Amino acid sequence: MKTLYFDLFSGCSGDMILGALLDLGADFETVRQGLAALPVGGYRLEVNRVLRGGVAATRLTVHIAGQEHKHVRGRAHDQARAGEHEHEHDYEHEHEHEQGDQPSIINHPLSTLNMQPSTHDHRTYAQIRDMIAAAPLAPAVRARATAIFEHLAIAEGKIHGRPPEAVHFHEVGAVDSIVDIVGISLALDHLGFDSFACSAANVGSGTVRCAHGVLPVPAPATAELLRGFPVYSAHFAGELVTPTGAAVLRTLVPEPGRLPAGTLLRTGWGAGSREHPDGPNALRLLVIEMADAGAADTEVAVLECNLDDMLPELVGELADTLRAAGALDVFLTPVQMKKSRPGTLLTLLCRPPDTPRFADELLARSTTFGVRVHRCAREVLDRRSFAVDTPYGAVSVKAGLRRGRLLKATPEFEDCRRLAAAADVPVAVVYQAAAAAVTAGWDQWVRRLEHGDA
């Protein structure tokens, strides 16, 4: 099981998260095409390889038509310069104009242009939600992007005393946030992680200037979104965690502050806009193959509810949302209920500590008035991973052992899909090539996994 771990030693923002995902290998063209499907214009994406504190990282910049504009997380108020853009809502103070901030570019930029005129002076959360729902995106992408925006709107609405649907996003901030949030959702769907975790968050210190004046760090919306997360302030002055970054964490991470046990597979770095004198202004993401044989995975929580008065389309969308939020599994079973009404039994599997969170989600997002909860013991295979070579590239393989004996090995579908798209061949062709490579090398994998041979 692949876990994405957010190392928040220097905080995070939406553009840093998307940059780090691109650094991990998310396909820029996939992200670009997904964003192009939205009715949003007036921006240009630029991707550079830069240095932050001597560390190479990927820097994503969103340029807005007619403005010298790019993402900059808020500085301490006593460090701010004149000429900053001030926006309508608190979370938009992460997007400031910074004269003289020239990143140390170590390769040529990769850019995409989407400069058709924008047609809105501002957008409400409800308008953004409906726009995403109507877009030709994968269901998991729509569900995850909508959930992130919903958390952001709820937090902003609570701070300003408005219902979430009435929260307005100024045009510049709306375009930036749509690009960041939908881009992150597209990149996560492309990379295909099973779960998410994060460290304690370094939120920074001082104050930040926004449309409502000078506010303390963390900004009110950020503080609301990070409730329950371990936080601290060290080394860097200014705003380190933005509301957009906090909304992504709130949506993805069920158990903050814990580095999962497992094998570290790779890392990705997403650059902030400025250099810090005391260390890299960057987000580090770690991909960890988690060990599955521990006691924590031998018991799961099972949450169930019967639904007979909810549109089938909404039931499917709910299942996608719950999966995107980190449920181990969600499945739907047709049932016949009282008075012979057809209905759907929704079953959700999660880790026991996540039970209250998913019970809240089911009660808030579905028509049910109650959720049944019980714990269930399960037997699991000890998982290992290795890679096989195919004519289309390397494919990760998930192997299952029982009492030290190799029982099965399955190519990772997401790897096959990515390679198939790059080679313009059916996914089944790449999958069959990977499966054939597994079969051809079976004795080798038995020796390596069962007996520890090199």
Q: Tell me: pLDDT of 4 over 80.
A: yes
Across 409-422, b (16+ Cβ under 10 Å) vs e yields bebbbbbbebbbee
- Of the residues 271, 290, 309, which one is the last residue of a structural domain? 290
Residue corresponding to tokens 């905080």: 11
Pair 79, 28 in one domain: yes
What average pLDDT does the segment 207-223 reach? 83
pLDDT at residue 129 tops 50 = yes
Global pTM value: 0.62
* Domain shared by 408 and 348, yes or no: no
pLDDT at 171: 44
Confidence band, pLDDT 50/70/90 cuts, at residue 423 = very high
CA distance 167 to 169: 7
Cα distance between residue 286 and residue 364, in whole Å: 32
Q: Do 286 and 301 lie in a common domain?
A: no
- In the predicted model, is pLDDT for residue 170 greater than 80? no
Assess whether 27 and 147 both reside in one domain.
yes
pLDDT tens-place string over residues 30-53: 999 999 999 888 888 999 999 998
Domain that holds residue 365: 296-377
Strand duo 43-52 + 122-124: pairing? unpaired
Contact (Cβ atoms closer than 8 angstroms) between residue 61 and residue 48: yes
Q: Which two tokens stand for residue 318?
A: 């709910």
| Residue 92 pLDDT exceeds 60 | no
pLDDT at 100: 33
pLDDT at 247 over 90: yes
Q: Are residues 185 and 326 in the same domain?
A: no
Q: For the residues 182-194, what does the mean pLDDT come to?
A: 93
Q: What is the pLDDT of residue 371?
A: 97
Q: What is the per-residue pLDDT across 61-72, written as a single tens digit (0 to 9) for each? A: 988 776 654 444
Sort strands 104-105 and 342-350 into parallel, antiparallel or unpaired.
unpaired
Average pLDDT of the chain, as a whole number: 83
Residues 396 and 429 in one domain: yes
pLDDT (average), residues 18-23: 97
- Which pLDDT belongs to residue 91? 40
Task: Tell me which of 12 and 405 has the higher pLDDT.
Answer: 12
pLDDT for 79 equals 36
Classified as helix, coil or strand, 211 is coil
355 lies in the same domain as 400: no
Strand extents, DSSP E, 8-89: 43-52, 55-64
Same domain assignment for residues 129 and 178: yes
Residue 60 has pLDDT above 80, yes or no: yes
Kindly state the average pLDDT of the residues 166-186.
Answer: 80
Last residue of a domain, one of 323, 349, 377: 377
107: pLDDT strictly greater than 60 = no
Kindly tell me if the per-residue pLDDT of 13 is higher than 80.
yes
Find the CATH number of the domain harbouring 334.
Answer: 3.30.70.1380
pLDDT of residue 241: 95
* Domain shared by 223 and 300, yes or no: no
pLDDT of residue 404: 83
Predicted confidence (pLDDT) at residue 390 exceeds the cutoff of 80:
yes
- Final residue of a domain: which of 331, 359, 377? 377
Q: Which one-letter amino acid corresponds to residue 230?
A: P
> What CATH number did the domain enclosing 430 receive?
3.10.20
Which of the residue ranges 166-170, 261-265, 299-303, 446-450 has the most confident prediction, judged by mean pLDDT? 299-303
- Residues 327, 186: one domain? no
Confidence of residue 242 (pLDDT cuts 50, 70, 90): very high
Same domain for 302 and 276: no
Q: Which tokens in the block code for residue 399?
A: 């192997």
Residues 169 and 89: beta-carbon distance below 8 Å = yes
Regarding whether 245 and 160 lie in a shared domain, the answer is yes
Residue 52 CB: number of other CB atoms within 10 A?
A: 25
- How many domains are there within the chain? 3
What span, in angstroms and rounded, lies between the C-alpha atoms of 30 and 35?
A: 9
Confidence (pLDDT) at 208: 80
